[in-house]
């Protein structure tokens, strides 16, 4: 049985998540879309905290909210003039989009609920210790992640080079 | 009231559907990228949720999320580099203008 | 014998070819000429040393002194391509009487031609011919190929060099590649000989498929010591027995051995210009005259004779093959002699004369039997090859000197040159006497041996060949008189009278003339016989003279003298007799003059029948059926691609739509199925 405070926190997070997501894709001002994205990312981070994944939440805030959204903002400022509105969507197109989204919602939601013997599981376990995370990232045994860690470092390097090559002035 | 797994999965699903809607309807490439981030994010949530509720003793889901965040950062950086390059060439970032890769 | 000298003999001309071919254009003209000539001179000296060692050293690897028998000696033999254990292609150096003989002939003539070309390949003002260095490079290539051909230890090596010889002949005939006639002549020579070589290759394959070997020594000889072989009929009989005992010894009514030998002979027919594959040789005269002397008179064209001689013990096993050789040779000899009587172009006369003389050698090989005078025909054939090379090269080089002085190939532009060009006159006369068979010049002895051998075989061919010998004397003296007598040409105002050429051109003439005077006294019977056995117990300068069968010799001499007298009567002074003769037999004259319309026949066969009836339908099939199928497939693919290409719109959101619908359908189906 959850405490009332926990339920209230959950409701706030879930609402923020849903509302900010919807607004992020429906607002016509691109800078606002980025801002709503920022808030929904924060909400996600809060969700991680709620699930007792504190490191994950910290990474979410640092990388997503701190890094990627800043990138978005910079690129938006580079590519559009402040105050520009994107053109109003044709109703037909919006209808198609809605249909697609709703169909997705229905199919996924239906399969979620219909197969849901495990959906009643409750949260258990503790916040993973930082030391354990570090050991697992640096280990090469079963359930340890040295290889992906290295791979992703190479990927990031490739990404840096690629970004430089693509964006530099010719 | 018990907050079961379903309560976490439903907002995640809605977030995903928002991403789908945005991806289909938006014209601005940065907006499309934002929609993409929403979808990725909802998947990340799912990983963490499944790990916490179904396999509390393990850390697989958490690490998947961790790596997904890293890859998403890389991918976004590259995508934005491309978008800025496209903008430099055509002064527009409307996805309808970037259709030269056909036939 | 150490393999050093033989290797140098082959390597030096090849090196000269590479040096002159790659760096020639950077050399001055005289340097290139001197370099090529010097290289060939060294090769000649080494070849003389080799031949002298072979014939006279008495070394046990070259001669079995007790049995007075010359042996075949493989100096070296390296594996070149080893396909399987049994199928190995080797390159080597086989020294035996005929290869030693040919080494001498080739290097001598080649050196003379190298020397002569220094003068010939420049005009009267000393301006060098364009491509002079290239000319020398090609001459070196030819010499290398020809030397490689004659020393081949196996039939496949011979085939390789055979084709190299053909290729260098093609290059040299087409030396004046800006002249359309030279280009078409080189193509003609190449295609005709290639066609013949197809037969040669088939023959090689048949023979080696049945016997499992390429080596000449395995066909004709038995091994007496390591690398030393002795020609024996027993080996050839063994080959015949092996083929007869094989699974399929007969093909279309003739034995496989006959087929193989006739097919190999077909290659020889192509190279040696036997009827009906002779048509390329007269046209090959488009090349520079020294080339004609070297390739198309003395060396390459006798390769066919050499080939038959090389496999002679095998040919002995098949009477039918030998008879074919005799018939082809005899017909060719008469045909070429008749045509030679009516040609205007002096080089063409010499070309047909060459064909006729090579046919003599072929007939001589065909009638040779061991029973008759130790295979006299074989010896006579090789003897004639030797003497003919000398005097025919002499005649061609004389013709070159005349053409160089006059600037035309036709005797109508010459007439009465004896006072202006005395050296050319004398040497040409010696050449004519030699080929006509007047004692004591070289041709007399060799032709006499041939006629003796022919008579020992069949009276019919003896009479036939004597007639041809008479014709030979007639057309050569016709040519001689028409060039040097007949009537005097007035020298036009402001022109020099024609005169003898520089020493580089006259020296080879004099040398070859001297050789033509005395070559007949070489005691060939002791040097070159079919199985290596010496014919005479002791030899001296007059051996050949003593060995003459005067009943034959006097008749052939009489025939030659009568023919020369007729020619003298008709052509010494300008008179109406030739025109009368021509009008008396107009049809015969016309046929001879047009070479019996062989070229027209070939044109008809190739253009009308092969091109028209076979190639055209095939071309139509290729263009419409084969290409049509491919075009049809391409058309269908192209149209359907155009039809569906709008799917690939480049609009990323449409792709997402498609993907989404697919994913949803998949999800829905999965959900329903798992329900």
The pLDDT tens digits of the residues spanning C264-310 come to: 999 999 998 888 888 888 888 888 889 988 888 888 889 999 999 99
- Structure tokens of C402? 């005349």
Q: What angle do CA C386, C317, C446 make, to 5 degrees?
A: 20
User: What band does C581 get if pLDDT is binned at 50, 70 and 90?
Assistant: confident
Indicate if the pLDDT at residue C491 is higher than 70.
Answer: no
CB atoms within 10 A of CB C603: 12
Give the best residue of C654, C664, C669, C672 to mutate against chain A (max A CB count within 10 A): C664
Burial of A129 from C-beta contacts in 10 A (0-12 / 13-18 / 19+):
exposed
DSSP C597: G
The CA radius of gyration of chain C, in Å to the nearest whole number, is 30
Q: Is A114 on the interface with C (CB under 8 A)?
A: yes
Q: What angle do CA C380, C383, C389 make, to 5 degrees?
A: 135
The CA radius of gyration of chain B, in Å to the nearest whole number, is 17
Q: Let me know: does C671 contact A114? Beta carbons within 8 Å.
A: yes
What chain C residue is nearest to A111 in terms of C-alpha separation? C671
Residues of A (72-131) whose Cβ lies below 8 Å from B: 72, 75-76, 78-80, 86-87, 89, 93-94, 96-98, 100-102, 104-105, 108-109, 112-113, 116, 118-125, 128
Tens of pLDDT, residue by residue over C333-348, are 999 998 888 888 888 8
Helix axes A130-138, A146-167, angle to 10 degrees: 80
Sheet strands side by side (includes C221-225): C88-95, C72-82, C228-231, C221-225
Shortest distance between the Cα of A14 and any Cα of chain C, in A, equals 25
Q: Is the peptide bond before C113 cis (omega within 30 degrees of 0)?
A: no
Q: Do B102 and C648 touch (CB under 8 A)?
A: yes
What chain C residue is nearest to B100 in terms of C-alpha separation? C650
Distance, CA of B75 to CA of B28 (rounded, Å) = 18
Indicate if the pLDDT at residue B103 is higher than 60.
Answer: no
Shortest distance between the Cα of C662 and any Cα of chain B, in A, equals 14
Q: Do B17 and A68 touch (CB under 8 A)?
A: no
Considering only CB atoms, A108 lies closest to which of C657, C667, C675, namely: C667
- Structure tokens of B33? 């990228």
Which of the other chains make 3 or more beta carbon contacts under 8 angstroms with chain A? B, C
Q: Is B82 on the interface with C (CB under 8 A)?
A: no
Distance (Å) of CA B24 to CA B18, B31, C646, C651: 10, 10, 19, 11
User: What band does C25 get if pLDDT is binned at 50, 70 and 90?
Assistant: confident
What chain A residue is nearest to C674 in terms of C-alpha separation? A115
Strand partners, C230: C222
Shortest distance between the Cα of B3 and any Cα of chain C, in A, equals 26
Considering only CB atoms, B30 lies closest to which of A6, A55, A72, namely: A72
Distance, CA of A152 to CA of C455 (rounded, Å) = 99
Q: Is C649 on the interface with B (CB under 8 A)?
A: yes
Instruction: Please list, residue by residue across C281-306, b when 16 or more beta carbons sit within 10 angstroms of its beta carbon and e when fewer do.
Output: bbbbbbbbbbbbbbbbbbbbbbbbbb
pLDDT for the residue C576: 80
CB atoms within 10 A of CB B81: 20
What chain A residue is nearest to B60 in terms of C-alpha separation? A143
Considering only CB atoms, A107 lies closest to which of C657, C671, C675, namely: C671
Q: Do B59 and A76 touch (CB under 8 A)?
A: no
Nearest CA to C267 out of C386, C116, C162 is that of C162
Task: Report residue B35 CA to chain centroid gap.
Answer: 6
Which of the other chains make 3 or more beta carbon contacts under 8 angstroms with chain B? A, C
State the SS3 of C393-425.
HHHHHHHHHHHHHHCCCEHHHCCCCCCCCHHHH
Shortest distance between the Cα of B45 and any Cα of chain C, in A, equals 20
Q: Do C651 and B23 touch (CB under 8 A)?
A: no
Nearest CA to C562 out of C642, C473, C494 is that of C473
Q: Let me know: does C201 contact C155? Beta carbons within 8 Å.
A: no
Alpha helices in C24-96 (DSSP H): 29-56
Most confident range, picked from C41-50, C63-72, C554-563 = C41-50
pLDDT for the residue C495: 61
- Distance between terminal CA atoms of chain B? 58
Most confident range, picked from A120-124, C384-388, C539-543 = C384-388
User: What band does A116 get if pLDDT is binned at 50, 70 and 90?
Assistant: low
What chain B residue is nearest to C649 in terms of C-alpha separation? B102
Average pLDDT, chain A: 86
Please list every residue in chain A whose beta carbon sits closer than 8 Å to the beta carbon of residue C674: 115
Q: Do C657 and A103 touch (CB under 8 A)?
A: no
Indicate if the pLDDT at residue B101 is higher than 70.
Answer: no
Pairing of strands C72-82, C228-231: antiparallel
DSSP C647: G
Distance (Å) of CA C297 to CA C115, C388, C519, C621, C653: 17, 8, 17, 45, 83
Q: Do A104 and C657 touch (CB under 8 A)?
A: no
Distance, CA of C288 to CA of A170 (rounded, Å) = 63
Tens of pLDDT, residue by residue over C120-175, are 888 777 778 888 888 899 999 999 999 999 999 989 899 999 999 999 999 999 88
Average pLDDT, chain B: 87
Nearest CA to C484 out of C410, C394, C419, C438 is that of C419
What chain C residue is nearest to A101 in terms of C-alpha separation? C660
- Structure tokens of C589? 């004259």
Higher pLDDT, C254 or C173: C173
Give the best residue of A121, A134, A147, A151 to mutate against chain B (max B CB count within 10 A): A121
Mean pLDDT of B72-98: 84
Helix (H) or strand (E) holding C220: helix C216-220
Q: Do B74 and A159 touch (CB under 8 A)?
A: yes
Please list every residue in chain A whose beta carbon sits closer than 8 Å to the beta carbon of residue C670: 111
Q: Do C657 and B99 touch (CB under 8 A)?
A: no
Residues in chain B: 103
What chain B residue is nearest to C656 in terms of C-alpha separation? B24
Burial of A52 from C-beta contacts in 10 A (0-12 / 13-18 / 19+):
middle
Give the residue carrying structure tokens 């002074």.
C573
Shortest distance between the Cα of B4 and any Cα of chain A, in A, equals 5
User: What band does C520 get if pLDDT is binned at 50, 70 and 90?
Assistant: confident
DSSP C374: T
In total, the C-beta contacts within 8 angstroms joining chain A to chain B are 227
- Structure tokens of C78? 């390296």
Q: Is B98 on the interface with C (CB under 8 A)?
A: yes
pLDDT for the residue C198: 92
Q: Do C660 and B24 touch (CB under 8 A)?
A: yes
User: What band does C494 get if pLDDT is binned at 50, 70 and 90?
Assistant: low
* pLDDT above 70 as % of chain C: 98
User: What band does C108 get if pLDDT is binned at 50, 70 and 90?
Assistant: very high
User: What band does B17 get if pLDDT is binned at 50, 70 and 90?
Assistant: very high
Q: Is A115 on the interface with C (CB under 8 A)?
A: yes
Indicate if the pLDDT at residue C449 is higher than 90.
Answer: no
What chain A residue is nearest to B48 in terms of C-alpha separation? A48
Nearest CA to B21 out of A29, A90, A24 is that of A24
Q: Is C638 on the interface with B (CB under 8 A)?
A: no
Considering only CB atoms, A114 lies closest to which of C657, C664, C675, namely: C675
Mean pLDDT of C307-320: 89
């Amino acid at each position: 049985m959850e405490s009332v405070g926990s339920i209230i926190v959950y409701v706030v997070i879930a609402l923020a998540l849903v509302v900010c997501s919807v607004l992020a894709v429906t607002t016509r001002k691109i800078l606002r879309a980025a801002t709503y994205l920022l808030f929904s990312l924060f909400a996600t981070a809060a969700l991680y905290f709620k699930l007792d994944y504190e490191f994950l939440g910290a990474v979410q805030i640092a990388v997503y909210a701190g890094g990627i959204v800043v990138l978005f903002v910079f690129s938006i400022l580079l590519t559009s003039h402040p105050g520009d509105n994107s053109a109003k969507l044709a109703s037909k197109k919006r209808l198609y989009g809605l249909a697609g989204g709703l169909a997705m919602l229905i199919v996924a939601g239906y399969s979620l609920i219909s197969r849901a013997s495990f959906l009643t599981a409750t949260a258990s376990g503790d916040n993973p210790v930082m030391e354990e995370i570090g050991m697992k990232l640096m280990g090469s045994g079963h359930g340890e992640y040295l290889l992906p860690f290295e791979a992703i470092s190479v990927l990031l390097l490739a990404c840096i080079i690629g970004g430089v090559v693509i964006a530099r002035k010719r | 009231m018990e907050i079961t797994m379903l309560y976490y999965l439903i907002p995640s699903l809605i977030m995903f559907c928002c991403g789908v809607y945005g991806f289909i309807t938006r014209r601005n490439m940065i907006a499309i990228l934002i929609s993409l981030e929403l979808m990725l994010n909802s998947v990340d949530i799912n990983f963490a949720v499944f790990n916490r509720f179904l396999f509390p003793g393990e850390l697989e889901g958490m690490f998947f999320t961790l790596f997904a965040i890293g890859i998403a950062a890389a991918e976004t950086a590259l995508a934005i580099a491309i978008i800025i390059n496209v903008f430099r060439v055509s002064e527009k970032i409307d996805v309808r203008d970037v259709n030269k890769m056909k036939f | 014998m150490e393999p050093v000298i033989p290797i140098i003999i082959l390597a030096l001309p090849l090196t000269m070819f590479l040096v002159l071919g790659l760096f020639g254009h950077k050399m001055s003209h005289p340097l290139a000429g001197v370099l090529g000539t010097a290289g060939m001179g060294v090769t000649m000296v080494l070849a003389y040393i080799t031949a002298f060692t072979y014939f006279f050293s008495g070394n046990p690897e070259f001669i079995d002194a007790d049995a007075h028998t010359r042996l075949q000696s493989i100096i070296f033999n390296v594996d070149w391509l080893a396909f399987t254990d049994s199928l190995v292609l080797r390159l080597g150096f086989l020294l035996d009487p005929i290869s030693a003989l040919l080494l001498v002939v080739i290097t001598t003539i080649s050196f003379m031609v190298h020397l002569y070309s220094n003068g010939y390949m420049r005009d009267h003002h000393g301006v060098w011919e364009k491509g002079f260095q290239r000319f020398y490079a090609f001459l070196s290539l030819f010499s290398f190929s020809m030397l490689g051909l004659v020393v081949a230890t196996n039939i496949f090596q011979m085939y390789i060099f055979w084709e190299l010889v053909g290729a260098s002949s093609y290059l040299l005939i087409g030396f004046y590649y800006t002249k359309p006639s030279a280009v078409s002549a080189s193509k003609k020579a190449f295609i005709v000989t290639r066609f013949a070589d197809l037969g040669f290759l088939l023959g090689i394959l048949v023979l080696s498929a049945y016997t499992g070997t390429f080596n000449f020594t395995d066909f004709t000889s038995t091994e007496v010591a390591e690398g030393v072989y002795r020609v024996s009929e027993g080996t050839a009989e063994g080959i015949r027995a092996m083929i007869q005992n094989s699974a399929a010894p007969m093909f279309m009514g003739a034995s496989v051995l006959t087929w193989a030998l006739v097919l190999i002979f077909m290659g020889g027919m192509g190279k040696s210009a036997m009827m009906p594959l002779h048509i390329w040789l007269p046209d090959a005269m488009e090349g520079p005259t020294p080339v004609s002397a070297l390739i198309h008179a003395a060396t390459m064209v006798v390769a066919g004779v050499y080939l038959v001689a090389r496999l002679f013990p095998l040919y002995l096993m098949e009477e039918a093959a030998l008879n074919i050789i005799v018939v082809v040779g005899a017909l060719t000899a008469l045909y070429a002699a008749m045509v030679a009587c009516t040609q205007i172009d002096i080089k063409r006369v010499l070309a047909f004369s060459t064909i006729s003389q090579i046919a003599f050698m072929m007939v001589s090989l065909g009638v040779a039997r061991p029973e008759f005078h130790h295979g006299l025909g074989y010896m006579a054939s090789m003897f004639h090859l030797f003497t003919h090379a000398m005097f025919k090269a002499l005649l061609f080089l004389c013709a070159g000197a005349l053409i160089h002085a006059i600037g035309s190939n036709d005797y109508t532009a010459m007439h009465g040159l004896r006072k202006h060009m005395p050296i050319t006159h004398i040497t040409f006369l010696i050449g004519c006497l030699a080929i006509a068979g007047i004692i004591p010049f070289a041709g007399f002895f060799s032709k006499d041996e041939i006629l003796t051998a022919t008579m020992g075989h069949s009276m019919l061919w003896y009479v036939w060949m004597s007639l041809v010998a008479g014709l030979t004397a007639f057309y050569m003296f016709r040519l001689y008189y028409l060039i040097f007598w007949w009537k005097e040409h007035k020298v036009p105002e402001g022109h020099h009278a024609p005169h003898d050429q520089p020493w580089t051109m006259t020296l080879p003439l004099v040398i070859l003339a001297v050789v033509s005077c005395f070559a007949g006294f070489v005691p060939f019977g002791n040097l070159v016989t079919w199985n290596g056995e010496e014919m005479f117990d002791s030899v001296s300068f007059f051996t050949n003279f003593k060995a003459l069968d005067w009943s034959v010799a006097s008749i052939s001499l009489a025939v030659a003298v009568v023919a020369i007298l007729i020619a003298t009567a008709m052509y010494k002074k300008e008179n109406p007799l030739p025109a009368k003769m021509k009008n008396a037999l107009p049809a015969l004259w016309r046929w001879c003059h047009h070479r019996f319309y062989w070229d027209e026949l070939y044109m008809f066969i190739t253009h009308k029948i092969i091109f028209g009836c076979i190639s055209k339908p095939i071309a139509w099939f290729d263009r419409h059926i084969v290409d049509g199928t491919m075009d049809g497939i391409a058309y269908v693919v192209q149209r359907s691609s155009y039809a569906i290409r709008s799917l690939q719109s480049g609009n990323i959101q449409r792709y997402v739509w498609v993907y989404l619908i697919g994913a949803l359908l998949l999800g829905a189906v999965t959900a329903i199925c798992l329900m």
